[in-house]
Amino acid sequence: MDNGQAGANVLVYDIGSTYTKTAAFFLNPRQTELTFLGRGQHPTTLENVMEGAGRARQAVLDQGIAIHEDARYYATCSAAGGLRMVALGFMPRVTAKAAKEVAMTAGARVMEVISWDEPPEYREEVLREIRPDIILLAGGTDGGDQDSPRENADIIIRVKSRAMVIVACNKDAQAAVAARLSEAGISHVRVPNIMPTIHELTIKPAREAIHAQFIKQIVKAKGLDDFQSMLADKTVMPTPGAVLLAGELFARGTHEQEGIGGLLLIDIGGATTDVHSALPELEALKPEERGLVINNEKQFSYRTVEGNLGLRVSATGVPEAVGPPAIIRDLEDQEPPVTPEELAGYTARLEQNPNTVPASPREAAIDRALAASAMVIALRRHAGHLIKDPDPVMGVAAGTPVGRDLRKVDRVLAVGGIFLHTDPPQRRKILDKAFADPGISLLPRSPGFAFDEQYVLFAMGALSAHYPEAVFSYLKKHISFSEKGT
């Protein structure tokens, strides 16, 4: 009996703001190999998510794919729009920055990062205005500052915040902070200090706490309690976090299989453009080589999110960021020429109708030009750069690299519907344009490109903690990079 006849025994849902997708797999008995059988999708039914998920599952069945009665189900979700998070820390270039990195790698929407040098009145005003779903309370290395987390806890209490507070500060201050929050009836959870020493960043416990809060939010807001109960691990993972985990596993490898090494992953969606990079060689650095870990160039895994650069919900943000002429230059082969007015009208229509599908080759070309421009901006904000002008005071010479250095990364993986629905030559042109002129940015110089052909990277992330060997084998087999610079 072949795998197709055996049917699907693993299904992974991704509940998006627009569509709910289902990816069906056969996992062999030794749990070492995954076979992709098919995928189905249906418009997300926010009034009853189970209905949309059921129809996406039916779309798999309609392809003639049987589903085992004892199949295991997993899920990711981006329909809730991401957690609105505020990170509170001590020093702006130390624990406050570290708090932001933890939040970003967990898939949260970081609305503000506030350090202790801001006046208490300002910190209070930010919390009142943003009304975050979650507050990451950092501050002080272990044995260090205790005043900032205690004062910030008092501010949280004063504004009567309804956010879940993740207490991730100096371990010596945590008991007092937790006691104050408990007395005030503020929901909170304690995790190990995200920055126990100046050279060390502890991400995983805080990331897991953020994921747990994500589940609570979408269950409450979207009525997903019945959906969650059918999942094998009872966990709904934020989609960006799942994509990041898949990238990390692909780069690092497993106990049995060696990873592919440095990886740059670009995920263009309707609302955001996310850039992830995983550099396994950085994990071997000694503390004295690492320096201040909050400088993102020294972290194994790093993620940035451009919330105003998307191809549908935030389409107008792309020409606002790069200027209409930059996009129109990519459309010089269109007849008649695309005008700024036409571009503005089209992007406005995309925002008003996110389900819009290009109705002509001309509109498809505009979509590709928007994607290339969004990537250019997002990549340059993610990567470091070379200093242009010397700074004698700081002792920095012209040409000194600053920030995350990706020049030696030779693999770039592109994810998103724009690549799934664009023919290979045209999608390759999108990436060629994005990497054509790195300028002073520390971007890969001549990388090989690959695409998430089956649009299942979210599923790989959701399954990575349960079947790492099978997931890695699948990625290695099905994601093929072009030769460097070709």
Q: Flag whether pLDDT at 477 surpasses 70.
A: yes
At 257 the pLDDT is 97
Q: Flag whether pLDDT at 8 surpasses 80.
A: yes
Task: Give pLDDT tens digits for 276-317.
Answer: 999 999 888 776 666 554 556 778 888 887 877 889 988 999
Q: Flag whether pLDDT at 53 surpasses 50.
A: yes
Q: Flag whether pLDDT at 378 surpasses 80.
A: yes
Q: Flag whether pLDDT at 2 surpasses 50.
A: no
Q: What is the reported pTM?
A: 0.79
Give 153's pLDDT tier (boundaries 50, 70, 90): very high
What percent of the chain lies above the pLDDT cut of 90? 60
Among 9-23, 90-104, 394-408, the range with the most confident prediction by mean pLDDT is: 9-23
Q: Flag whether pLDDT at 124 surpasses 80.
A: yes
Q: Flag whether pLDDT at 75 surpasses 90.
A: yes
Residues forming CATH 3.30.420.40 domain(s) in the chain: 3-77, 240-311+371-478
Q: Per mean pLDDT, which range of 237-241, 354-358, 476-480 is the poorest?
A: 237-241
Give 395's pLDDT tier (boundaries 50, 70, 90): low
Q: Per mean pLDDT, which range of 101-105, 246-250, 481-485 is the poorest?
A: 101-105
For the domain made up of 240-311+371-478, give the CATH fold.
Answer: Nucleotidyltransferase; domain 5 (3.30.420)
Q: Per mean pLDDT, which range of 223-227, 318-322, 344-348 is the poorest?
A: 223-227
Q: Flag whether pLDDT at 212 surpasses 90.
A: no
CATH label, 84-216, candidates 3.40.1180.10, 3.40.50.360, 3.30.540.10, 3.40.50.300:
3.40.50.360
- What architecture (CATH level 2) is domain 3-77? 2-Layer Sandwich (3.30)
Task: Give pLDDT tens digits for 256-265.
Answer: 999 999 999 9
Give 266's pLDDT tier (boundaries 50, 70, 90): very high
Name the more confident of 363 and 393: 363
Mean pLDDT of 388-395: 72
Three-state secondary structure string covering the chain: CCHHHHCEEEEEEEECCCEEEEEEEEECCCCCCEEEEEEEEEECCCCCHHHHHHHHHHHHHCCCCCEEEEEEEEEEECCCCCCEEEEECCCCCCHHHHHHHHHHHCCCEEEEEECCCCCHHHHHHHHHHHCCCEEEECCCCCCCCCHHHHHHHHHHHHCCCCCEEEECCCHHHHHHHHHHHHHCCCCEEECCCCCCECCECCCHHHHHHHHHHHHHHHHHHHCCHHHHHCCCCCCEEEHHHHHHHHHHHHHHECCCCECCCCEEEEEECCCCEEEEEECHHHHHCCHHHHCCCCCHHHCCEEEEEECCCCCCCCCCHHHHHHCHHHHHHCCCCCCCCCCHHHHHHHHHHHHHCCCCCCCCHHHHHHHHHHHHHHHHHHHHHHCCEECCCCECCCCECCCCEECCCCCCCCEEEEECHHHHCCCHHHHHHHHHHHHCCCCCECCCCCCEEEECCCCCHHHHHHHHCCCHHHHHHHHHHHCCCCCCCC
Task: Give pLDDT tens digits for 166-179.
Answer: 999 999 999 999 99
Residues forming CATH 3.40.50.360 domain(s) in the chain: 84-216
Name the more confident of 354 and 75: 75
